[in-house]
Chain A
Amino acid sequence: MARILVVDDEQEVCDMLKKFLTKRGHGVYTALNGEEALSIVKEERPHIVLLDIRMPIMSGMECLKLIREIDKEVGVIMITAVKEEEIGKQALELGAFDYITKPLSLKYLEDCLMVKLLQMTA
């Protein structure tokens, strides 16, 4: 259905999301850091990026800026470890489509993806 890139510095988080999204019929790439994520964005042009904010070396926010430079169309959904309104707001200003707090509701994520994909195909 769609190409989705999951970026999280924890392998287990990537695995869990990959399992869920694959079951939903999406093509899933995973990246453990910002740099890896950027090269996948360049090469694979995913429709959606699920991007963790708290990551070592390159933070999610930095990564978001660079992704947007590469691809203005890609839908980025930020995933934050804790509810931080301020950071959420910033992310939206930087062009993120939404932000979700961990532990996330997969139902919410599914709805969110649907909305974004509909927007993109419209």
Chain B
Amino acid sequence: MKKKHILIVEDERIVSADIKMSLQRFGYAVSGTAVSGEEAIKKAEKLRPDLVLMDIVLKDKMDGIEAATLISSRFDIPVVYLTAHADDKTLERAKITDPFGYLLKPFDDKDLHTTVEMALYKHKMGKNLKESEERYRTLFEESRDAIYIVSQEGKIVDFNQSMLDLFGYTREEMQGMDLSKIYVNTDDRKKHKEKMEKRGFVKDYELKLHNKNGKEMNCLLTCAVRRASDGNISGYQGSIHDITARKRAEQVSIKAKNRAEKALRQLRKVQTRLIQSERLAALGELSAGVAHEINNPLHIISGHAQILLMDGGLDSEIEETLKIVEKQVERASRITDQLINFSKRTEPEIKELDINEALNNTFVLLKHQLAQDNIKIVKQLYSEPVYLHADPAQLQQVFLNLITNASQSMPEGGTLTISTCVRDSDVEINFTDKGCGIPRKNLNRLFEPFFSTKEKGAGLGLSIIYGIIQAHEGSIKVKSKVGEGTTFTIKLPVRKRAIK
């Protein structure tokens, strides 16, 4: 270990030499001796000893206390006083200089050794403490988070530069300021204070704070209780992390995510619709094939029945039976006709027509039937004529089927609202009933041929409608809630009216 260097300031040379010898015996190096205050200061500056042994009473005008004050403040060198007589006044003066020890003359070697060691140790500790304080002060000052210490009453007693930067106050304004001034919601403070007093700290407590200009910020507060040596709360220390930007970025990303999810949902919906329409198209093909295949045997059965009937002279029971056969063949053949309709084999006969007029024509046809069934039609038609290119007979079939379905869903009677409106280049026709509604599981299969929940009926009505609307380059959709009602929405492209 490096020898500790000591400067001896003593105007009596014999004493000085004696001390020097003692020190050297204990393993210290004596870097020099001085006899006056001025000399002491010069040598302290030049030699930079680890300790100064300072006689208080010196012959010169500058006494030891004065010299020690200068040495310890200028060069940060610990001083131990040597004194023979200590009157209270002198001791009082010496005390102020914060000396590292006193040696009362006469002292023995042991006293000298102990006092010097203690002084060196105290100084080293003090230095360490100062250094560590400086280190923490630097951390505190340079932290990008705002850090503060408040008294128990909530007055700000210490804070760093980030605290000033974040809240926009001057150093003078912030010193002693009530911390509640930075809260948007003073309730927040109460809440986290309660928590903190129970647990001793809060971590990443999210809250809104505002700066001097009232600008709100999203912040995370981490805060801990400070306790005095008696264990009572003396105040609080906290750090504030501004997450406004992060929050905004989060919101942006949430928004983007939502948008992406929405797009995905739409895509799935379209996909479902595509699959559904693919399936319906495939079913259409199949139906047409089946219809053809069935028509031939029907043709043969009915032919034979007709031959027998035409010949006459049959037993009346046989004749009756053959007539039933004929009738049922006719029925089967009507079904195959409808199947072929659904498969769009029948091209629409396109004419220019006004959708409102077409609807009104249908209402006229159904007037008596609807009155009988206690169905009230509420019309909300577009204020002007809307022209389409469509097959009037086929559209009428669509309207008739939808209105009949709606009225069947309201066996006790009710209101059926029919509206038309123009959206972009389409006309939308809505049929809304307050009927029994369609269970979710049935919605997807609604347009399939032979899908029926009615006791009577082949289950072709809606599939024919689907086929017709497809042939008109339109679309049909259904929304329904059990017990609330059903809305069918047909979209058909609007045509500019031909100039005649």
Using a CB–CB cutoff of 8 Å, the interface residues on chain A facing chain B are 10, 12-13, 16-17, 19-20, 23, 54, 81-86, 102-107
Contact = CB atoms under 8 A, between A and B. Distances in A.
Contacts of A106: 303, 306-307, 310
Interface residues of B, number: 23
B322 to A, nearest CB: 13
Contact of B303 (A16, A81, A85): A16
A20 B337 contact: no
A104 B337 contact: no
Nearest to A8: B296
A82 B340 contact: yes
A13 B336 CA distance: 18
Contacts of B306: 20, 105-107
Interface in B275-314: 291-292, 295-296, 298-304, 306-307, 310-311
Interface in B326-368: 329, 333, 336-337, 340, 345-347
A94 B333 CA distance: 28
B295 A17 contact: no
Nearest to B303: A16
A23 B311 contact: yes
Nearest to B337: A83
Interface string B218-259: 000000000000000000000000000000000000000000
Contact of A82 (B295, B301, B311, B329): B295
B301 A103 contact: yes
7 contacts: A10-B300, A16-B307, A23-B311, A82-B337, A86-B347, A103-B298, A103-B329
Contacts of A102: 295-296, 298-299
Contacts of A83: 337, 340, 346
A23 B308 CA distance: 11
A48 to B, nearest CB: 17
Those 9 A-B pairs whose CB atoms lie nearest each other, nearest first? A102-B299, A103-B299, A103-B302, A16-B303, A106-B306, A103-B298, A81-B295, A102-B295, A81-B292
Contacts of B296: 10, 13, 81, 102
Contacts of A10: 296, 300
Interface centre among B295, B301, B333, B347 (most CB of A within 10 A): B295
A105 B302 CA distance: 8
Contact of B292 (A82, A86, A104, A107): A82
A81 to B, nearest CB: 5
B464 to A, nearest CB: 14
